[in-house]
C-alpha cells in the first residue's frame, strides 16, 4: 500500500467572560490549534501531534513512528469532500462584552436577592480531516454558552441553582426569561410528591451512560456487556429510539468520526422502537466482530483512532412536555451530582436541586431527595418520552418515572 498522509486538526477560538459576584471580572481569549499527523503504510499507522500547523518535522516524526508497527489494517477514506458550516453568530468581542454587561445589569436589577457567577463564552470550532487520497471534511460551529451559577444571598450553599443555555445565537432575552421563571419559583418552597414512582425530567447523559457502555461493540464482542444476548431483541419501551447524532442538533460535533466515516443524514440508529439494533463500532471492532460500521471512532487529536463510549441521543417524540406530563406533578432536576449505576444496571443519585412542574409552569423549589431505578425499567415501562419542544433553558425534556424517596 502506498504511504498516505492524513491531517486531523482541531481549532478552538474562544472569548470567555468570567463572572464573579454578578459582574464580569475577567476576559479570556484563546486560539488553540492542535494538529495530528497520520501516516498509513503497509497495514500500520504512525501518528505525531503538534500545536499549531504541522511542519515537515511533525510529518517526519509520524513516519518514524511507523516503526512502532501499530497495526491499522484499513484504508483511509478517499475522494470525499464536504464542508458543513453551522455558524450563525456574528458579534464582535466588544459587542459581546457590552451585551453581557447589560444582561448582568438586568439580572441584578430584576433579581436582587441572587448572586450570579461563572461564565458566558463564545466558542468557535473548526474540526477537519484531510488526506492526500482526496478526503476533505471540515465542520465549523460557533455557539454562545451561558453557564451562570446562582446563589441566594441568604443561602449557605455554594450553589443553589443554575441558568444554563447554549445556542448558535446570543439568546439574551431567552436567558432573562429563564431567570424570571426559575428564580421566582426558587422563592416558593414546594412539597415533594409522595414517595414512590414519579415523573422525573432529567438530563439525558446521566441516565444514558449505562446504555452507552453496554452498546460498545468491544464490550459486546468480548462478552462483557449487559446487552450481549439482547441484540435484535425488544428490551425497552416501544417508543424509545436511541441514536448517535451528528446532525446540527448537537453542538461542536463533526459529521464525521475520527476515521472519516459518515452516516446518511448524519444519524445512526442503535435502538429502534425499543429493539437493540446494533452496537456502535469503529473500523477495527466492526471488522473483528463482523458488525455494521457506525462511524463511532474517537480519540485525542494525536491518537490512533479508537473506540470509547460515545454520547447518545434520545429521538424526540411527537408530544410536548406538557402533553407528556399530562398534568401529573413532576420533578424537573437541575442538579443531581454524583449518581451512578451498579454493574447490573441499578441507578441511584441524590438530587441536590429541583423544581416541581406541571409540564408548563414551574411551581416551586423542592428539598433534596433521592431517585433510583433499574435501567430496564427506566427505559422500559417507566419511559414516558422525549419532548418535541424545548420548554425550559432551550433543551428538550427527557421524562421517565423513577423511584423517589426523601
Angle between helices 172-186 and 93-110 (to 10 degrees): 20
Nearer to other proteins, 34 or 172 (CB): 34
Q: CA separation (Å) from 105 to 94, 102, 309, 352, 383?
A: 16, 5, 42, 28, 41
Nearest to 202 by CA among 327, 375, 386, 381: 386
Q: How far apart are CA 393 and CA 303, in angstroms?
A: 35
Q: Compute the least distance from the CB of residue 170 to other proteins, in Å.
A: 20
Compute the least distance from the CB of residue 80 to other proteins, in Å: 26
- In the complex, the smallest distance separating the C-beta of residue 158 from other proteins, rounded to whole angstroms, is 5
Q: Which neighbouring-strand residues pair with 125?
A: 12, 141
* For other proteins, the closer CB: 113 or 177: 113
Query: How far is residue 111 from each of residues 116, 117, 184, 355, 364, measured CA to CA in Å?
Result: 10, 14, 9, 18, 16
**SS3 of residue 30 by DSSP:** strand
What is the distance between the alpha carbons of residues 157 and 243, in angstroms, rounded to a whole number? 37
Nearer to other proteins, 54 or 385 (CB): 54
Closer CB to other proteins, residue 148 or residue 325?
148
Looking at the Cβ atoms of 53 and 85, the one nearer to other proteins is 53
Q: How far is the CB of 354 from other proteins (least distance, A)?
A: 13
Chain-centroid distance, C-alpha 28:
24
Closest by Cα among 109, 356, 383 to 239: 383
CB of 78 to other proteins, least distance (A): 24
Which residues of this protein are in contact with other proteins, per CB under 8 A? 18, 20-21, 24-33, 47-52, 65, 68-71, 115, 118-119, 147, 151, 153-159, 218-219, 222-226, 302-304, 306, 335, 337-344, 346-350, 352, 368, 370, 372
Distance of closest approach, residue 341 Cβ to other proteins, in angstroms: 7
Please report how close the Cβ of residue 176 comes to other proteins at its closest, in angstroms. Answer: 22
Q: Which is nearer to other proteins, 151 or 246 (CB)?
A: 151
Count of CB atoms situated within 10 Å of the CB of 278: 20
Q: Closest CB to other proteins among 46 and 359?
A: 46
Selection from 129, 128, 171 nearest residue 146 by Cα: 171
Amino acid at each position: 500500500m502506498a504511504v498516505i498522509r492524513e491531517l486531523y486538526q482541531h481549532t478552538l477560538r474562544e472569548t470567555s467572560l468570567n463572572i464573579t459576584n454578578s459582574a464580569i471580572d475577567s476576559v479570556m481569549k484563546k486560539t488553540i490549534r492542535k494538529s495530528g499527523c497520520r501516516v498509513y503504510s503497509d497495514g500500520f499507522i504512525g501518528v505525531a501531534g503538534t500545536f499549531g500547523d504541522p511542519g515537515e518535522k511533525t510529518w517526519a516524526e509520524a513516519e518514524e513512528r511507523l516503526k512502532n508497527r501499530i497495526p491499522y489494517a484499513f484504508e483511509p477514506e478517499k475522494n470525499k469532500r464536504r464542508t458543513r458550516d453551522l455558524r450563525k453568530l456574528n458579534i464582535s468581542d466588544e459587542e459581546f462584552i457590552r451585551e453581557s454587561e447589560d444582561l448582568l445589569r438586568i439580572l441584578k436589577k430584576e433579581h436582587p436577592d441572587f448572586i450570579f457567577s461563572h461564565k458566558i463564552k463564545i466558542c468557535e470550532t473548526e474540526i477537519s480531516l484531510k488526506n492526500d487520497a482526496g478526503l476533505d471534511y471540515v465542520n465549523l460551529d460557533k455557539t454562545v454558552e451561558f453557564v451562570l451559577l446562582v446563589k441566594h444571598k441568604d443561602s449557605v450553599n455554594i450553589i443553589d441553582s443554575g441558568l444554563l443555555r447554549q445556542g448558535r445565537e446570543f439568546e439574551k432575552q431567552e436567558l432573562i426569561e429563564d431567570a424570571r421563571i426559575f428564580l421566582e419559583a426558587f422563592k416558593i418552597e414546594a412539597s415533594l410528591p409522595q414517595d414512590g414512582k414519579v415523573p422525573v425530567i432529567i438530563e439525558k447523559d446521566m441516565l444514558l451512560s449505562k446504555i452507552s457502555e453496554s452498546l460498545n461493540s468491544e464490550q459486546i464482542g468480548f462478552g462483557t456487556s449487559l446487552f450481549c444476548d439482547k441484540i435484535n431483541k425488544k428490551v425497552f419501551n416501544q417508543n424509545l429510539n436511541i441514536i448517535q447524532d451528528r446532525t446540527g442538533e448537537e453542538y461542536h460535533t463533526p459529521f464525521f468520526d475520527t476515521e472519516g466515516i459518515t452516516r446518511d443524514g448524519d444519524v445512526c440508529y442503535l435502538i429502534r422502537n425499543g429493539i437493540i439494533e446494533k452496537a456502535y463500532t469503529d473500523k477495527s471492532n466492526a471488522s473483528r466482530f463482523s458488525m455494521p460500521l457506525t462511524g463511532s471512532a474517537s480519540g485525542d487529536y494525536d491518537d490512533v483512532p479508537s473506540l470509547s463510549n460515545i454520547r447518545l441521543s434520545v429521538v424526540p417524540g411527537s408530544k410536548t412536555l406538557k402533553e407528556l406530563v399530562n398534568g401529573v406533578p413532576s420533578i424537573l432536576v437541575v442538579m443531581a451530582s454524583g449518581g451512578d449505576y451498579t454493574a447490573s444496571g441499578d441507578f441511584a443519585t441524590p438530587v441536590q436541586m429541583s423544581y416541581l412542574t406541571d409540564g408548563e409552569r414551574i411551581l416551586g423549589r423542592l428539598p433534596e431527595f433521592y431517585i433510583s431505578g433499574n435501567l430496564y425499567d427506566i427505559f422500559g415501562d417507566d419511559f414516558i418520552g422525549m419532548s418535541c419542544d424545548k420548554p425550559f433553558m432551550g433543551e428538550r425534556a427527557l421524562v421517565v418515572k423513577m423511584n423517589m424517596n426523601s
